[in-house]
Structure 1
């Protein structure tokens, strides 16, 4: 099944769930979208798909207005949420929190003023601050790389990991990764540090790992942008002991590397498309236009990408 087919199936499931919920009074929808700025390629994809959703949906629905705000950090996003609520006077919100804890109260304040809230990807620390949650499968995102690494190493070896930003989804990924490793006592996780889903930070963290650890068999970068920083650090250090580099999210450059077999250390990835922001905006807008609610949780599957199925995940025209 292709990623496109899965998205269609997901939308159909969500639509069926909507049909079973009681309808509320329909109204014109003033939808705010709050997302992090395009500080790296995955967020570039998020911004691209959010703006595509605005273009498509406003053209299709005359009673819909979408306002998109992008923030470089959590405090800026909190301020933008306040403006969306008090100045723009939104009655619906799709928010991709910069950080979980820091954005929970600001999002709760928007909901308290009557807006319908859909949280995307990075969950809040208090789910009562949201009406719906849409995300990729973060448990699978952590489990799949661990299973692949354990299998490729034959159940024995040294591993280091690079985490993202301190969020609920990062915790879910790391917990799932660790759960798999617990079943392989001869796989040793030497360290796991935050690199903020950033190439430069990943380069610095990997430099530290390469200095401290004389033998590393596999690196879980947990993001394809971070994997680029990892590769640069390894090249600079001239290390040849690393057998596996596993990123995440299916960036087009990494998928192309897998398709072409360019780097024997990069044999697989795990899907996590930024297009889910488009799906979240579309589902939220169309539900509110009908006076309906979304299911409490919608999870988009994450799957292993290998040379055999990589063509299904390769989107050369996407910014990610």
Structure 2
């Protein structure tokens, strides 16, 4: 679900990323990524598993490696995980020089800091697919694969509006101030404009974090005596919201809609264990698996991906929840 893991890049990280980019630029033509004809040597650069969503990213990337290498004997997948933008930029250099990749799938740790390093990789003849967190210069990529952030906001809004019969009080918990969060909130608001009898009481940032969401929800519960539904735009935040509601012993809230299809929330939905959890919206870290599979299979055929591929975000209900339940994934 596209969760940034750090604050904006510090100066040192930026310098490290720039240095790595310069090193890539300095590579002699003879060092350009090469592999035997018909062989795809695919590098995967992703953030380390610092929280649930990125844990899912790492798990799904390794699932893709295992399944695709078993199916395609002329495919090699090398996965690198990074704790910060500078480390990821250095790993790109290693993937080119040591692993001699001819294709790259990257989930950028940060957009700005990774744009130049990725640009240098592409300049060495490597096919580049960027996933989820876009770069600041799209000429640095051949393809872009992401979840549908507009649907991520629209699907919950549609469901909540219909569940409330077009009338009631709603509060929202946003993620971190990013373009993707803006897309989600804008889509949610666009739906709600069609329901003048639904009042959005407030929409505060809770940083995709259950502890922060607990505090934000406590504030809402203190300030608002009647809340009919909550949109917590992430399942981790929904956990914090439910905890705050239970602690306050409030019974007015009939619906809590999270997002991204975390396995705990999907299991609750499947089992009908909490009447407040009636639906969810998909935005699985599985899109890294999809991006790796799409890229590998296209390159094995000598094909390219479309410039942009959006993985649909769809409504999850009890009826289809089993299709979105991945018990072995950390997320």
After TM superposition, give the deviation of residue 34 of structure 1 in Å.
Answer: 1.6
Cα distance in 1 between the residues matched to 2:155 and 2:259: 10
143-152 or 195-204, which moves further after superposition? 195-204
After TM superposition, give the deviation of residue 132 of structure 1 in Å.
Answer: 0.8
**Structure 1, unaligned runs of 5 or more:** 1-24
1:237 pairs with one of 231, 243, 248: 248
Q: Are 2:33 and 1:33 equivalent residues in the alignment?
A: no
Question: Where does residue 170 of structure 1 map in the other structure?
Answer: 181
Question: Where does residue 16 of structure 1 map in the other structure?
Answer: none
Question: Where does residue 3 of structure 1 map in the other structure?
Answer: none
2:64 pairs with one of 43, 53, 57: 53
Sort the Cα spacing of 1:69 and 1:264 in 2 relative to 1 into closer, same or farther, 3 A: same
Question: Where does residue 269 of structure 1 map in the other structure?
Answer: 280
What is the TM-score with the length of structure 1 in the denominator? 0.81
After TM superposition, give the deviation of residue 62 of structure 1 in Å.
Answer: 4.0
Sort the Cα spacing of 1:95 and 1:191 in 2 relative to 1 into closer, same or farther, 3 A: farther
Per-residue CA deviation, residues 165-224 of structure 1 (Å, 9 max, x unaligned), is 444433322221111112222323333333333323333333343344443322211121
Cα distance in 1 between the residues matched to 2:244 and 2:319: 29
Cα distance in 2 between the residues matched to 1:111 and 1:154: 52
After TM superposition, give the deviation of residue 94 of structure 1 in Å.
Answer: 0.8
What is the TM-score with the length of structure 2 in the denominator? 0.79
Question: Where does residue 161 of structure 1 map in the other structure?
Answer: 172
After TM superposition, give the deviation of residue 263 of structure 1 in Å.
Answer: 1.4
The aligned runs of 1:110-189 (5 Å cut-off) are 110-189=121-200
Question: Where does residue 17 of structure 1 map in the other structure?
Answer: none
Q: Are 2:83 and 1:72 equivalent residues in the alignment?
A: yes
Cα distance in 2 between the residues matched to 1:206 and 1:241: 14
Sort the Cα spacing of 1:105 and 1:245 in 2 relative to 1 into closer, same or farther, 3 A: farther
Q: Residues 34 and 94 of structure 1 are in contact (CA less than 8 Å); yes or no, is this contact kept in structure 2?
A: yes
After TM superposition, give the deviation of residue 238 of structure 1 in Å.
Answer: 3.1
SS at match of 2:101: coil
Question: Where does residue 193 of structure 1 map in the other structure?
Answer: 204
29-38 or 307-316, which moves further after superposition? 307-316
225-234 or 137-146, which moves further after superposition? 225-234
SS at match of 1:318: coil
**Structure 2, unaligned runs of 5 or more:** 1-35
Cα distance in 1 between the residues matched to 2:89 and 2:202: 32
Cα distance in 2 between the residues matched to 1:194 and 1:26: 50
Q: Residues 100 and 167 of structure 1 are in contact (CA less than 8 Å); yes or no, is this contact kept in structure 2?
A: no
Q: Residues 26 and 289 of structure 1 are in contact (CA less than 8 Å); yes or no, is this contact kept in structure 2?
A: no
Cα distance in 2 between the residues matched to 1:101 and 1:193: 26
* C-alpha RMSD of matched pairs (Å): 2.6
Cα distance in 2 between the residues matched to 1:180 and 1:95: 33
SS at match of 1:225: helix
Question: Where does residue 10 of structure 1 map in the other structure?
Answer: none
Cα distance in 2 between the residues matched to 1:124 and 1:165: 18
Number of aligned residue pairs: give it. Answer: 296
